[in-house]
Amino acid sequence: MNNLQEQLEPFKVTIKNINININIHIIEIECITSEFKSFMDDSLISIYLGNRNIDLSLAKQKLLNFINTKSHNTQMGAIAEFFIHLYAKTMNMKQECLMSNLEEGSIKKGFDGYYSHGDTEWIMESKSGTIDTATISHHAKVSEAYRGLESLLSGGSTNNPWENAYNHASHRDVNPKDTIIKNIDKFSIEFDNGIFYQVKDFNIIPSSTIFYNGAMSVDIEDILEKVEPLVDKFEFQKLEIICISKKSLDLFLDYLED
């Protein structure tokens, strides 16, 4: 099938539709335009803190304070996660989690993202790195994200990712009797009882973000050529692969400081 070059406002994205259940999204972020800034302004509080009555300036400061206290790798991970949540909004996915951790000052445990789209539920795992890393590639990071989901779902973590997802979903603007809450609660109880699942049972979003250091050169066809074969190796119900190339780490930090 042909690639579809789109402007899913405010994103510059190329989407490869494999079939009705599989899409690959290649996103380029070279600058924060006024339109992009406005979109982030409208979305940041909801993405980071959920349904909170808080000023944007305070939310930006809280996020900036969190990022500034973390290691370079954690900074990359947090910023990558934000932009995936942001892009998910253009996919009409409802974020059923918070970007912030419920434990003040620590990083989030469990799934990086949990979404609903109509009557379907989606789990996202995000991996990121810098272009300076010798072996960096989107297909390697997507594979790493997929393996992370495999491990979490099959009981490879001592931390119950479903319990974390339940607590996060409970802080969103949802009814406690909502199907999503009930589903997550069921999975959490089963996890504690040693009942695990396989990644093939879920709709998944393995995601990759690569940060450049200034000048950005993105070969979309090369990325697709290397990422697309992963589809045949992965197991899933439905699959959305997201690959983000971002000009720099400072692009977002500058926005928060503005």
For residue 105, which phi and psi values (nearest 5 degrees)?
90, -10
What is the spatial distance between Cα 113 and Cα 251, in angstroms, rounded to a whole number?
A: 22
Tens of pLDDT, residues 151-209: 999 999 888 999 989 888 877 655 545 788 889 999 999 999 999 999 999 999 999 99
Query: Is the per-residue pLDDT at 105 higher than 60?
Result: no
Q: Where are the domains of the chain?
A: 3-103+113-147+203-257
Q: What is the pLDDT of residues 14-56, one digit of tens each?
A: 999 999 999 999 999 999 999 999 999 999 999 998 888 899 9
